[in-house]
Structure 1
Amino acid sequence: MTSPSIPSRGRPARLDRAKTVETALELLDEVGLEALTMRRLAERLGVRAGALYRHFTTKQDLLTAMAERMLGDVQASPEAADWAGRLRALARALRRALLAHRDGARVFGGTHSVGPHTLAFAESVVGVLREAGFGDEDAGRTLMTLVNFTLGHTLEEQAAAAPHEDGAPDDPGRLRSAVQAGPYPHLAATVPVLTSADFDAHFEFALDLQVEGLRRLRSGAEWVLPCVDRGAEKRKAGP
């Protein structure tokens, strides 16, 4: 983090990168991702748009910095006694961090930050798994699965709450009507769940599936993911 500089007489204050990112997140909460432009951010900061490009070459660079800052708010409870509890806590903390900002999941998606907050979160997840006895390959794939699941879930959660062009949020009645009007008896039986806005329950159910799958993977060789040819992975790695 850089410290604010004192402007010389007759010159505008130099932009502070950390303050710029914080202001961008504030503006995101006000106007959403679509309306967040470099020009609009520059106006909020009281500088010309060109001044932003000293810190951020493109808007994508800015979004990556915003994603990195969001993960600075990830705080997982250290009270869980076992690896499964700690893993659940980390997934929930990531979801909370993304939900804390309007369009937070859309900002985070595809940024691939390598900043300290992002790497610290990844280190925590992989550390929990390796310390529990999972191999490096399984720990790495689990990290990707956990992040991708949480991101995808939160994208859908925030999209469902976002107003459409008519100003109203998504109407679950459209799905209900479409299913009931067609030959979809199995879907019709599950419509109450499919149209439920209880995203906490949806998230916890999927998280439990992942954790229980990991328990079985950890328990022994009788349960092996059919999509993974571990021999091929070893051959690829070489001696």
Structure 2
Amino acid sequence: MPLRKADVVDEALRFIDSEGLDQLTMRKLGAALNVQGGALYRHFPNKEALLDAMADKIVEGIGDPLPDTAWFDQVRILGNRLRTALLSRRDGARVMAGTFSPGANTVIGTDKAVQVLSRAGLPPAQAGWVSFALFYYVLGHAIEEQAQLGLPPDHDWRERTGRLAVEVSPQYAAALDSLSGTDPAERFDYGLNVFVEGLRRLQEKERAAQEHAAR
């Protein structure tokens, strides 16, 4: 049966789940598919194009219909959907971070976020800015989560900082402890809530200003 583009993407994702992103090459992927490496180039001109397709596959479903609820709850849902998608694959966040050409799923998901924020009263331009700010918060958090999974079991933040011979405050030390001692999902939800609540207050302030100007 002829090798399909979707087969290449699916196998590439299975490969990074098993071996990690740093081990992925077109040659190794061709061997995993039992084809010559050159056969892959009929579907993807280079590894960067393959990574773009892998990233778009990872975020499949992000733009699915949302429940009929308040806009700020929909923003939380979108943020959690994206985090879940990125963490569903080993190095998934790094795959997404290294792409520059958005695919259909990426566009659909971003469009969904822009629609939600536009219904909340943001002009399209600002809705786009906020959508990307949300995306980068989720992406950055997921990158750190997956990086922490690769740390040795005995890794100690305090010891590592101590080797730098830098005096830190007790508050900073407590903050470092929380990075390894707190559930990443709890930290993520806290940050997402700060983001959403800040946005809600901004919208309330702007709405009040508009109502005052209309009097």
Shared topology, TM-score over 0.5?
A: yes
Q: TM-score range by the shorter chain?
A: 0.7 to 0.9
Counterpart in the other structure of 2:187: 202
Maintained 8 Å contact 2:158/2:173: no
- Matches of 1:177 and 1:35, distance apart in 2: 28
**Highest RCO, 1 vs 2 (Cα 8 Å, sep ≥ 6):** 2
Aligned pair 1:24/2:7, yes or no?
Answer: no
Maintained 8 Å contact 1:77/1:89: no
Maintained 8 Å contact 1:160/1:169: no
Alignment of 1:67-106 (within 5 A): 67-74=55-62, 78-79=66-67, 81-106=69-94
- Matches of 1:77 and 1:170, distance apart in 2: 43
Q: How many residues align?
A: 207
Maintained 8 Å contact 1:162/1:170: no
Distance 1:51 1:169, change over 3 A: farther
What is the TM-score of this pair, normalised by structure 1?
0.79
| CA RMSD in angstroms, aligned pairs only | 2.4
- Matches of 1:170 and 1:38, distance apart in 2: 35
Q: What's the secondary structure of 2:125's corresponding residue?
A: helix
- Matches of 2:104 and 2:139, distance apart in 1: 19
Counterpart in the other structure of 1:220: 205
Unaligned stretches of 5+ residues in structure 2: 210-215
Counterpart in the other structure of 2:167: 183
What is the TM-score of this pair, normalised by structure 2?
0.87
- Matches of 1:122 and 1:32, distance apart in 2: 27
Q: What's the secondary structure of 1:146's corresponding residue?
A: helix
- 1:61 counterpart (49, 72, 81): 49
- Matches of 1:70 and 1:151, distance apart in 2: 13
Counterpart in the other structure of 1:233: none
Which range moves more in the overlay, 76-85 or 140-149? 76-85
- 1:161 counterpart (111, 135, 149): 149
- CA-CA distance at 1:202 after TM superposition: 1.1
- Matches of 1:147 and 1:223, distance apart in 2: 28
Partner amino acid for 1:192?
A: D
Percent identical pairs in the alignment equals 38
